[in-house]
Structure 1
Amino acid sequence: MGLYAVTGAASGIGRSVADALRAEGHEVITVDIRDADVVANLADADACAAAVEDIQQRAPDGLDGFVPCAGVGPDAPAPRLLPLVNYFAVVAMVDGLRPALEQKRGAVVLISSNSSRMTAYNEDYMQALLNGDRDSAVKMVEEGPVDGQGAYGGGKQALVRWMRRNNSAAAAAGVR
């Protein structure tokens, strides 16, 4: 069977995905802030990079799939977590794990939300995300003008845009 990595695997959707994969006979490398094979605070860029390295060491022959489920909702206790976990960690981990996914022509399943299409979100915020400008994105959610729902939905919309911009190159390399 296959080898998969799942973030947010200690609870919620991530746990359900990991359980379903195991039930089908797959091996799962779990990633979460606690109770996981790879324990990492994905809001921290260095911890995110270390998590990628740890997964690569556990999967020397590559990954059959990666499901980044770690995320926080619009009512997160620290607004900065919204762009850091829901967008930047996902992008960093997908990019970082791409070589492992290419080895097995693996798949990535990105988690978005119907919130990504509900309204027009702050375009400056989404551009900060898409341009990799962590400081500006965090400042916009901590000081305004972006509130929790705008950070959540806008981040999900930016993730969809990022995926659309990058899926052709990933597909050409064999990543589904």
Structure 2
Amino acid sequence: MTADLSLLLPLAVLWPMLLASLSLLPGWGPRMVTLLPLGPLPGLAAAVITPRDTPVALPGILLDGGLELTGTGALFLGGAALLWFWAGVYAAFYLRHDGRPTSFALFWNLVLAGNLGVFIAADIISFYVFFALVSLLAYPLVIHDRKPASMRAGTVYLVLAVLGEVAILVGLMLASYGAGGASGSRRCAPP
């Protein structure tokens, strides 16, 4: 039973990615906006019923990365999933007459997957990939309406996102080096 429940962790990320993929199918894109509230539901379920501190290995994915739900991660995962649910309800109502529902649904679900994945990443590489999904793929959401103010905000957002990416990457590399990780090999250091 525990193994079955821990499968909710990959589903929390894969389900929004599937919804994003479905938005690319002909005829499905405009309809996907109405399904936005469904995206975070596996993440919400995982936060509530998945056993804590049970790692889920992902062999062959992200350098054999994994997912794990800690007590703190469950709190953040549940809170984020709940916020994304209500944001999806609002967006489905607000965007019902939008001219670009397909692109909104695509990027909304990809950013959702990254946001939920950050809270359940069990290793540095998984965390960084999920963080990159959140930070870089949110840009199309910022500029969605293509108004001049949105485009200016998008430029500022992109600059800050790239700076944040660089800071996170440098911090992770320093932490890995300090811990003697793969990127912190001390074989080349002078004696």
TM-score, scaled relative to structure 1: 0.36
Which structure has the highest helix share of the two?
2
More strand by percentage: 1
